Amino acid sequence: MLTKRIIPCLDIKNGRTVKGVNFVSLRDAGDPVELAEFYSKEGADELVFLDITATEEKRKTLLDLVLKVAQKINIPFTVGGGISKVEDVEMLLRAGADKVSINSSAVKNPDLINDLAAKFGSQCIVVAIDAKKVKDQWKVHLVGGKVPTEIDLFEWAKEVEQRGAGEILFTSMNNDGTKEGFANKALKKLSRELTIPIIASGGAGNMQHFIDTFKIGESDAALAASVFHFKEIKIKDLKQELKKNNIPVRI
C-alpha cells in the first residue's frame, strides 16, 4: 500500500500566506518562506504554493517568491496560480517547482492539460478542482471560487485524467476553512472512479478528520492550511496518530 501524504498549503496574496473560510474572509498566516522551511523540517511530505489572486488579477505567479521557497525546502513542491501556457510552466520548473497546479485555465482550455502532460510528463501536472455542492450536485467553480459553472465535478475529473493529468487536487468549497472535516463522500467517489491520486482539500480541523479522509474518503493525500499555520496540529504528531490507526505514512 502506498504511503499517504500530508501536504501543507500556502495560499499566497500580496506576498503573504493567507487563510480564509469558504474562500473568503482572508487573514494573514505568516511569511511563506519561513513557513515553507518550517514544514520541510517538520516532516511534511510535499508543499503546495497557490498564488490565489494571480488568475483574477490576470498576472503570472510570483516567480521570485517561488525561487526563495524552493531554496529553503527539500520536499516536492507544487506551484499554482496564473498558469495558462507551456512557457509559464518552464519558468516555474526553472525556479524550483517540481509540479504545477492548473485550475481555471484547464477548464477554459482543456487541451492545455494534454500539452503540458506531453511536454513535461503527467507526474508534473496537478489539476486543481474547486467545487461546491449545489442542490445535491457538485459544480466546478473558477477564479478562486468566484465564478460558478454548470460543469459536473465527476465528469470533469474523468476528462482531466483522460487528458493526462497526474493528480487531482479537489477542494470542497462547502468545507473549506470550516474545520468540520473533508468532503469524504465526494472524495470516495472520485477515488473509486479514477485511477490517478486524489488530494483531499478543505475542512481539516482535527486529527480525526485526516484519519477519516484516508479511511472513509479513500484519499491518497490530505492538504490543509490553517490547522498547520496556526500550530493547531503538528505534522509529526499527526503522522504518529495516523500510524497508530494503521494508515501508512512516512515518519
Residues 204, 222: Cα–Cα separation, whole Å: 9
Residues 248, 1: Cα–Cα separation, whole Å: 7
Q: What is the largest CA-CA distance in the chain?
A: 46
Q: Which of 82, 69, 91 is nearest to 8 (CA)?
A: 69
Exactly one of 11, 51, 212, 220 is catalytic; name it: 11
Neighbours of 66 (CB within 10 A): 24
Exactly one of 45, 51, 88, 130 is catalytic; name it: 130
Q: Which of 190, 187, 189, 192 is nearest to 160 (CA)?
A: 190
The model's pTM: 0.93
Q: For this structure, is 115 an active site residue?
A: no
CATH topology of domain 5-244: TIM Barrel (3.20.20)
pLDDT of the chain along its 251 residues, tens only? Answer: 689 999 999 988 877 877 655 545 555 667 889 999 999 999 999 999 988 676 666 556 678 889 999 999 999 999 998 899 999 999 999 999 999 999 999 999 999 999 999 999 999 999 999 999 999 999 999 987 789 999 999 999 999 999 999 999 999 999 988 899 999 999 999 999 999 999 999 999 999 999 999 999 999 999 999 899 889 999 999 999 999 999 999 98
| Domains in the chain: boundaries | 5-244
Query: Which ranges of 77-131 would DSSP assign to H, the alpha helix?
Result: 86-95, 104-108, 111-120
Cell triple for 65: 517568491
Q: For this structure, is 152 an active site residue?
A: no
